[in-house]
Amino acid sequence: MDAITLTIDGAAVTVRRGATVLEAAQQAGIYIPTLCSDHDLEPYGGCRLCIVEIEKMAGLPTACTTPATSGMVVRTATPAVNEARRDIVALLLADYPDDCPACTGDDRCDFHQVVAYLGLDEQPFRRLHRSIPIDSSNPFFERDLDYCIACGKCVRTCDEVVNVDAIEMASRGYTILPSAFGGKPIVQSNCISCGECVVRCPTAALMPKERRLPAQEVKTTCPYCGVGCQIYLGVSDGQVISVRGDRDNDVNRGLLCVKGRFGVAGYVNHPERLTLPLVRKDGALRETTWDEALEMVAGRLAGFGKGEVAVISSAKCTNEDNYVIQKFARTVLGTNNIDHCARL
Amino acid sequence: MAGLATTFGSGAMTNSISDIGGARCILAIGTNTTEAHPVIGFGVKSAVRKGTKLIVANPRYIELCQFADIWLRHRPGSDVALLMGIMRVIVDEGLLDRAFIEERCENFDALEQSLTGFDMDFVERTTGVLGEQIAEAARMYATNSPAAILYSMGITQHSHGTDNVMAVANLAMLTGNVGKPSAGVNPLRGHNNVQGACDMGALPDVYPGYQRVADPQARAKFEAAWGCKLDPSPGLTLTELFGAARRGEVKAVYLVGENPVLTDPDARHVREALESLEFLAVQDVFLTETARLADVVLPGVSFAEKDGTFTNTERRVQRVRKAIEPVGSSRPDWRLTCDIARKMGGRGFDFSHPRQIMDEVASLTPSYGGISHDRLEAGGLQWPCPNKEHPGTSILHTERFTRGKGRFVPLEYKPPAETADENYPLLLTTGRSQYHFHATLTRKVSGLNALKPEELVEVNPVDALMLGISEGDRVRVTSRRGEVTARAMVTDASPAGVVSMTFHFSESPANLLTNPSLDPVAKIPELKVCAVRVEKIA
């Protein structure tokens, strides 16, 4: 690897050539506040919060757009830097409603993490209140632009990551905000509801409709298509309530589609899930005990000749399920009549 | 899969999802990637942004067409003609990789001979694509190496699907695009674990790891491991099974986790077949259309309630972890099957955790030999992974093909089993929507139903005008096998003469219409082409 070494806050940091100052700091575990950068997006330099001092460079360059160079000396949190950051955040706060639904208990949204880092407690600017109708047209998420800080992350995600371009920054100056085509409800746009913008929004402007936070998360594999995206299932009170993409794998690198992100809990928790075995009695399926149901299957299957029985397995089931099912067909029923829907 | 097994010796995706982005050219044929495999679709679009050339071959205008350098709109069922036409140009213009062909492949002369039947006049007439466009695509694919081919059911679900796959494999070998990063032949598998179900031997002709039941050595190995005699003759495929049931030859079925009444072609006959059984046991999470026909229904659990593994389309075995307790008194599928097996006197079903099952799989399946739940804690492993030290295999056929030499297969064009005629003047093709998956699970999710609430039959404006159909009209679609009704969407996404439906909606089950005509080798039904007529319902 072609590597270079620079100094950040007195520490020597070695990174690959081409990395930005922000990436170098993040790699070294040095916190630089930012609200518009994302590892899947091109450097943007929009929020201006990642400004730093760099020796032999004029002004306060943004760390996210400045390539790290050999021998560079960077200071990330000088009084001048933090004063400028406080002014920027104070301006954002002036527009931001007092309550933040994206902050729950100790778990602050990205924006309020920055506010806390900078230790802002006074509000020097006159408060302004926007009152834009909430767009709740999408079944899975809401957009409340009163909380939007115009970082452009959602628009850039839809463009650079998803390549759908359902939204763009509309208007100019103080009124610039993300908008679907013609300012229409988002569900009428070409939005594919993947939710990649929602997970990247640093404020409460884009929020899933399911707001509960999971008590624990379990890493597993998405049950829908053959891509095999790695996901974290969020669990609360014994129910699946959320899905989050896992970034540390080569399959999906955190990305998910609408089914994986929003379409799992609805069927896992569905009230029509079968909970008891059923047997047909007098023409109708009636609830029964496991003992009776399993005895019945075993007893009836035993009554047929080898060529008269067949087993249909499932491409939705696990490898372990499928192995046991084909072993059952071959060793107990004595037949190779075992197949699944591979051809469909 | 049979097509790739013949040509390469292994019927699986040759490369990895993560290396598709590095291709200099991607040919996406018979795959609506952004709808059916959305996350791979993101990757393809991002690759194009960074300069990868994209060729889309699809009768329908799909999202990827927006990103394509070339869109080949060939007629449904004309894939062999299109691909052979491309190969003819590559050979005629000397764009083939002679060194690769000589060193790594065999039977090239036979392919070259069969290409003489595909002069551009014939190819143009058969595919409906301009020769110059085909030539341009041929040059783009052949001169931008590494080039990756992606395909899906649009290639396989034809009465000559195996030929289609072999045509794809021929093209990749012809240009040396096998066995190296960001190239290859990449079938995108539909279900989460269709690859794994095949690997595990849930197929009538093979044991786990594609060891053939007809091979005495393989059979002796499994007889020794399982402690019983095994039947040497391959069993019935799913599509053959329903015919056997209707004829009364198959009398009892134990069915786990599938809903063939909605997802299989010629659904009316599937239903009749299941109704004619003397005994049907269904194991599923919902009371599906199929489960309603059962004599016994056993509640299985969802993926969130069990431990195990899925194998994705790139052969990567990944963990499934139990997150919640089984709903109600439902039980994991492996456990139910083991219980039934033991009650019937079966031996070797005393597993207490799926990890023990995977250990047995590893002991009998060379390609899974190094795979265990413990190792998968650190992340997925791609087979072949023959031993505990092996890191897995991201690219197949790097040094040599699995079968030794890659085998070119000469091909001829065969029309679809049904073509348009006076009574059924339109062709129906079926596909997926990204908001649904098959017909059961996603239909339970209210938000997904809100986004895609009903079937819409795509009708080209030209056909709509002739049939007097306007956007939103209710129409009846009739084939030789049945009829369904749905609303019409008038769009030039489907070409004139072709209508398109999904198969997610039990209210408008497209598979009442589709043709069960099978590919003679792979036994895959022709879901992508059948003849229909469409009428407005007054």
> Which ipTM did the prediction report?
0.93
Domain membership flag for residue B522 = yes
> Could you give the CA distance from residue B424 to residue B530 in angstroms, rounded to a whole number?
9
- Walk across the sheet containing A278-281 and list its strands: A284-287, A278-281, B296-299, B279-284, B252-256, A309-312, A338-339
Kindly report the average pLDDT of chain A as a whole number. 93
pLDDT bin (cut points 50, 70, 90) of residue A1 is low
> Where in chain A does DSSP place strands (E)?
3-8, 11-16, 53-54, 73-75, 141-143, 167-170, 177-180, 206-208, 216-221, 230-236, 239-245, 278-281, 284-287, 309-312, 338-339
Range of the domain at B230: 194-382
Other CB atoms within a 10 A radius of the CB of residue A81 amount to 19
A129, pLDDT greater than 90: no
Same domain as B198, residue B179: no
Last residue of a domain, one of B142, B168, B188: B188
Sign of CA dihedral B25, B30, B33, B34: positive
Same domain as B198, residue B106: no
pLDDT bin (cut points 50, 70, 90) of residue A45 is very high
The total of structural domains in chain A comes to: 4
Same domain as A285, residue A248: no
The mean per-residue pLDDT over the stretch B305-332 comes to 96
User: Could you tell me the two tokens for B317?
Assistant: 């075995």
> Could you give the CA distance from residue B76 to residue B416 in angstroms, rounded to a whole number?
8
Same domain as B199, residue B167: no
By the CB < 8 Å criterion, does A34 face chain B?
no
Express each pLDDT in B108-137 by its tens digit: 999 999 999 999 999 999 999 999 999 999
Domain membership flag for residue B394 = no
Minimum distance, in Å, between the CA of residue A153 and any CA atom of chain B: 17
Same domain as B214, residue B178: no
By the CB < 8 Å criterion, does A278 face chain B?
yes
- The confidence score (pLDDT) of residue B8 equals 86
By the CB < 8 Å criterion, does A103 face chain B?
no
Same domain as B437, residue B321: no
Same domain as A86, residue A14: yes
Domain membership flag for residue A330 = yes
CB-CB under 8 Å, A295 with B190: no
Among the partner-chain residues A266, A275, A327, the one whose CB lies closest to the CB of B330 is A275
Among the partner-chain residues B204, B325, B447, the one whose CB lies closest to the CB of A336 is B204
B518, pLDDT greater than 80: no
Domain membership flag for residue B181 = yes
Same domain as A224, residue A196: no
Same domain as A338, residue A235: no
pLDDT bin (cut points 50, 70, 90) of residue A331 is very high
Domain membership flag for residue B419 = no
For testing contact with chain B, the best of A40, A160, A294, A340 (most B CBs within 10 A) = A340
The total of structural domains in chain B comes to: 3
Same domain as A100, residue A30: yes
Among the partner-chain residues B286, B361, B380, the one whose CB lies closest to the CB of A323 is B361
CB-CB under 8 Å, B292 with A344: no
pLDDT bin (cut points 50, 70, 90) of residue A208 is very high
B238, pLDDT greater than 90: no
Residue pointed to by tokens 């909430």: A134
Last residue of a domain, one of B349, B367, B382: B382
The mean per-residue pLDDT over the stretch A157-172 comes to 94
- The confidence score (pLDDT) of residue B137 equals 97
The mean per-residue pLDDT over the stretch A210-223 comes to 94
pLDDT bin (cut points 50, 70, 90) of residue B258 is confident
B504, pLDDT greater than 70: yes
Same domain as B180, residue B202: no
Same domain as B170, residue B238: no
Query: The domain spanning residue A101 has which CATH number?
Result: 3.10.20.740
Minimum distance, in Å, between the CA of residue A295 and any CA atom of chain B: 7
- The confidence score (pLDDT) of residue A343 equals 63
The mean per-residue pLDDT over the stretch A177-206 comes to 94
Spatial CA neighbour of A206 closest among A254, A267, A158: A158
- The confidence score (pLDDT) of residue B283 equals 96
Last residue of a domain, one of A181, A210, A239: A210
By the CB < 8 Å criterion, does A286 face chain B?
no
Among the partner-chain residues A266, A295, A309, the one whose CB lies closest to the CB of B445 is A266
CB-CB under 8 Å, A295 with B250: no
Same domain as B223, residue B184: no
Q: Which residues of B touch A335 (CB under 8 A)?
A: 231, 235
Domain membership flag for residue B501 = yes
Domain membership flag for residue B376 = yes
Angle between helices A79-95 and A110-117 (to 10 degrees): 140
Query: The domain spanning residue B70 has which CATH number?
Result: 3.40.228.10
Domain membership flag for residue B433 = yes
Same domain as A195, residue A158: yes
A53, pLDDT greater than 80: yes
Same domain as B459, residue B366: no
Domain membership flag for residue A125 = no
- pLDDT greater at residue B508 or residue B127: B127
- The confidence score (pLDDT) of residue B481 equals 86
β B426-431/B498-502 pair status: parallel
Among the partner-chain residues B39, B198, B255, the one whose CB lies closest to the CB of A257 is B39
For testing contact with chain B, the best of A327, A328, A333, A335 (most B CBs within 10 A) = A327
- The confidence score (pLDDT) of residue A105 equals 74
Range of the domain at A106: 3-117
Express each pLDDT in B280-295 by its tens digit: 999 999 999 899 999 9
Minimum distance, in Å, between the CA of residue B46 and any CA atom of chain A: 7
Q: Decide: B150 and B43 in contact? Cβ < 8 Å.
A: no
Last residue of a domain, one of B188, B219, B235: B188
Spatial CA neighbour of B73 closest among B124, B149, B38, B142: B124
- Considering chain A, what percentage of its residues have pLDDT values greater than 70? 99
> Could you give the CA distance from residue B89 to residue B103 in angstroms, rounded to a whole number?
22
- The confidence score (pLDDT) of residue A165 equals 95
- The confidence score (pLDDT) of residue B512 equals 82
- The confidence score (pLDDT) of residue A218 equals 97
Same domain as A79, residue A8: yes
Last residue of a domain, one of A221, A238, A273: A273
Express each pLDDT in A6-40 by its tens digit: 999 999 999 999 999 999 999 999 999 999 999 99
pLDDT bin (cut points 50, 70, 90) of residue B314 is very high
Query: The domain spanning residue A229 has which CATH number?
Result: 2.20.25.90
Query: Nearest residue on chain A to B250, judged by CA atoms?
Result: A308
Domain membership flag for residue A137 = yes
Same domain as A282, residue A248: no
- The confidence score (pLDDT) of residue A189 equals 94
Minimum distance, in Å, between the CA of residue B395 and any CA atom of chain A: 14
Tell me the three state secondary structure of residue B257: coil
Which of A1-5, B65-69, B358-362 shows the lowest per-residue confidence on average (mean pLDDT)? A1-5
- The confidence score (pLDDT) of residue A130 equals 83
B255, pLDDT greater than 90: yes
Last residue of a domain, one of A186, A210, A234: A210
> Could you give the CA distance from residue B204 to residue B224 in angstroms, rounded to a whole number?
20
Among the partner-chain residues B157, B235, B318, the one whose CB lies closest to the CB of A338 is B235
Query: Nearest residue on chain B to A209, judged by CA atoms?
Result: B447
Domain membership flag for residue B392 = no
Same domain as A218, residue A145: no
CB-CB under 8 Å, A307 with B249: yes
> Could you give the CA distance from residue B279 to residue A300 in angstroms, rounded to a whole number?
7
Minimum distance, in Å, between the CA of residue B89 and any CA atom of chain A: 32
Same domain as A230, residue A199: no
Express each pLDDT in B29-84 by its tens digit: 999 999 999 999 999 999 999 999 999 999 999 999 999 999 999 998 899 999 99
Same domain as B15, residue B164: yes
The mean per-residue pLDDT over the stretch B305-309 comes to 96
Same domain as B473, residue B327: no
For testing contact with chain A, the best of B313, B324, B430 (most A CBs within 10 A) = B324
Express each pLDDT in A292-306 by its tens digit: 999 999 999 999 998
- The confidence score (pLDDT) of residue A258 equals 94
Query: The domain spanning residue B226 has which CATH number?
Result: 3.40.50.740
